[in-house]
Amino acid sequence: MSRTLLDDCYDHCERLTKRTAGNFYYSFCGLPAPQYQAMCVLYAFMRVTDDCGDAENRTLPERVADLGAWQQSLTEVMQPGWSITGMSGWSEPAGLVLPAMREVAERFAIPHEHLFAVVRGVRSDLEFDPPRRMESQISNLKSQIGAERFQTFDQLADYCYLVAGAVGLCCIHIWGFHGDEATQHAIDCGTAFQLTNILRDVGEDAAAGRVYLPAEDLQRFGVTVEDLIAQRCEDQFRSLMAFEAERAKSFYASAEQLLPCLEPHGRPILKAMLQLYGGLLHEIERRKFDVFRQHVSLPRWRKLWIAADAMIHQRLLS
């Protein structure tokens, strides 16, 4: 494969990460050069995969087709003996990201199945993505999503593995780790982060026709899909959210046990991520689980402080 092409791919992934990763990018900066490059490539891979599923200017069939083409290109690039001549007909994102993703996967022994799991996770979102409707058509929207996507938490956990746990597994291969227990801790870390995102976005997701909380939990606390769509922050809803927050904390506890399993240069970046996502969960609790009136986020100064702290600690290790 042309080294010039690969260099262009790495440059593109770095630019994309700088432009879209926000404060996460700064937590990458203190990593040794090979790991820094690899994290930019992994982030770019994730960014393009998510964009295939989330592009608001594309219809659902178009997004499904885009993701199918992306998956086909990923399949091709990961084949033994693949060469640059195999890029004919690829989209621009594929040609600018996947050659570097192949090299990173080889260099850091990332199992290909983790990358394909991420694509399956985004595809599963598209399979459950209802047509967009006007807010006045709440009754129709309710009938569209009345059967909650996940009946049990085990089903939700499987989804969390696809969209987050598999990413955690890719990261620990890049950072370096030891001990068989690291794998489960990395998966639990992804679950903790994804549960936090789900709790933060309950209202926005329901408005878009998506309910990620398990049906068994909604039923247990007497919360209906209509309650979520109508953004009713009543006692039943707060009890449900408190239950899910405690569940997330159990996964954060496992995620913290990943820290000693990592090579030293990987620990500051994981610590930063735990502080960022854990901070979001704390903020959700501080607001008494009212995630409807205002989008939950951390102050920019705090995110910058966490990223800077990670970068300083990584520099001290180099």
In tens, the pLDDT along 192-229 reads 999 999 999 999 998 888 899 999 999 999 999 999 99
* pLDDT of amino acid 145: 43
The pLDDT > 90 percentage for the chain reads 68
For 134-191, write each residue's pLDDT tens digit.
Answer: 333 344 444 444 446 899 999 999 999 999 999 999 999 999 999 999 999 999 999 9
The pLDDT > 70 percentage for the chain reads 87
For 66-79, write each residue's pLDDT tens digit.
Answer: 999 999 999 999 99
* pLDDT of amino acid 175: 96
pTM for this model (two decimals): 0.89
The pLDDT confidence band at residue 294, using thresholds 50, 70 and 90, is confident
Would you say residue 274 has pLDDT above 90?
Answer: yes
The pLDDT confidence band at residue 92, using thresholds 50, 70 and 90, is confident
* pLDDT of amino acid 316: 63
Domain with CATH 1.10.600.10 in the chain: 130-318
Q: Calculate the average pLDDT of the chain.
A: 88
For 254-264, write each residue's pLDDT tens digit.
Answer: 999 999 999 99
* pLDDT of amino acid 83: 81
* pLDDT of amino acid 136: 37
Written out in words, the top-level CATH class of the domain with range 130-318 is mainly alpha
Tokens of 290: 């009212």
Tell me the mean pLDDT in the region 81-105. Answer: 86
